[in-house]
Amino acid sequence: MPLKEDEIEKKVILLKLLLRERDESLEEALNALADTKMATLKQIKELFVQLQNSGYVTSDGNLTFIGEVEAKKAKQEFAL
Protein backbone atom coordinates (compact mmCIF):
# COMPACT_ATOMS: atom_id res chain seq x y z
CA MET A 1 0.00 0.00 0.00
CA PRO A 2 1.58 3.31 -1.06
CA LEU A 3 2.26 5.98 1.54
CA LYS A 4 0.34 9.23 1.43
CA GLU A 5 2.46 12.23 0.50
CA ASP A 6 2.22 13.79 3.97
CA GLU A 7 3.43 10.52 5.55
CA ILE A 8 6.57 10.68 3.44
CA GLU A 9 7.06 14.33 4.34
CA LYS A 10 6.68 13.54 8.04
CA LYS A 11 9.33 10.82 7.73
CA VAL A 12 11.65 13.30 6.02
CA ILE A 13 11.11 15.81 8.83
CA LEU A 14 11.89 13.15 11.46
CA LEU A 15 14.99 12.14 9.53
CA LYS A 16 16.15 15.76 9.27
CA LEU A 17 15.72 16.20 13.01
CA LEU A 18 17.69 13.00 13.64
CA LEU A 19 20.53 14.09 11.39
CA ARG A 20 20.63 17.82 12.10
CA GLU A 21 23.88 19.35 13.22
CA ARG A 22 24.31 20.08 16.91
CA ASP A 23 24.49 23.83 16.28
CA GLU A 24 21.58 23.84 13.79
CA SER A 25 18.43 25.40 15.22
CA LEU A 26 14.97 23.99 14.68
CA GLU A 27 14.10 26.95 12.47
CA GLU A 28 17.22 26.40 10.35
CA ALA A 29 16.38 22.70 9.97
CA LEU A 30 12.81 23.42 8.88
CA ASN A 31 14.00 26.16 6.49
CA ALA A 32 16.49 23.72 4.95
CA LEU A 33 13.63 21.33 4.21
CA ALA A 34 11.60 24.15 2.68
CA ASP A 35 14.59 25.04 0.50
CA THR A 36 14.39 21.57 -1.06
CA LYS A 37 10.88 22.47 -2.33
CA MET A 38 9.53 19.32 -0.66
CA ALA A 39 6.79 21.55 0.75
CA THR A 40 6.32 25.15 1.76
CA LEU A 41 7.64 26.28 5.13
CA LYS A 42 4.04 26.71 6.28
CA GLN A 43 3.21 23.10 5.32
CA ILE A 44 6.37 21.81 6.98
CA LYS A 45 5.52 23.66 10.19
CA GLU A 46 1.99 22.23 10.12
CA LEU A 47 3.41 18.71 9.75
CA PHE A 48 5.85 19.45 12.57
CA VAL A 49 2.92 20.36 14.84
CA GLN A 50 1.20 17.10 13.85
CA LEU A 51 4.37 15.21 14.78
CA GLN A 52 4.42 17.05 18.11
CA ASN A 53 0.78 16.23 18.80
CA SER A 54 1.47 12.58 17.99
CA GLY A 55 4.32 12.47 20.50
CA TYR A 56 7.22 12.12 18.06
CA VAL A 57 8.81 15.53 18.65
CA THR A 58 9.11 17.93 21.57
CA SER A 59 8.25 21.62 21.21
CA ASP A 60 11.94 22.53 20.93
CA GLY A 61 12.47 20.12 18.04
CA ASN A 62 14.05 17.19 19.84
CA LEU A 63 12.90 13.71 18.99
CA THR A 64 11.13 11.72 21.66
CA PHE A 65 12.09 8.07 22.06
CA ILE A 66 9.35 6.96 19.66
CA GLY A 67 10.30 9.78 17.29
CA GLU A 68 13.89 8.61 17.24
CA VAL A 69 12.80 5.04 16.53
CA GLU A 70 10.63 6.22 13.63
CA ALA A 71 13.40 8.48 12.31
CA LYS A 72 15.83 5.55 12.30
CA LYS A 73 13.26 3.45 10.43
CA ALA A 74 12.92 6.25 7.88
CA LYS A 75 16.70 6.40 7.52
CA GLN A 76 16.73 2.70 6.63
CA GLU A 77 13.81 3.11 4.23
CA PHE A 78 15.49 5.97 2.37
CA ALA A 79 18.95 4.37 2.26
CA LEU A 80 20.12 3.57 -1.25
What is the per-residue pLDDT across 57-80, written as a single tens digit (0 to 9) for each? 998 889 999 999 999 999 998 886
* pTM for this prediction: 0.89
Residues of the chain with pLDDT under 50: 1
CA atoms of 43 and 20, how far apart (whole Å): 19
Exposed/middle/buried for residue 21 (C-beta within 10 Å: 0-12, 13-18, 19+): exposed
Please name every residue paired with 63 in a beta bridge, in sequence order, or none if there are none: 57
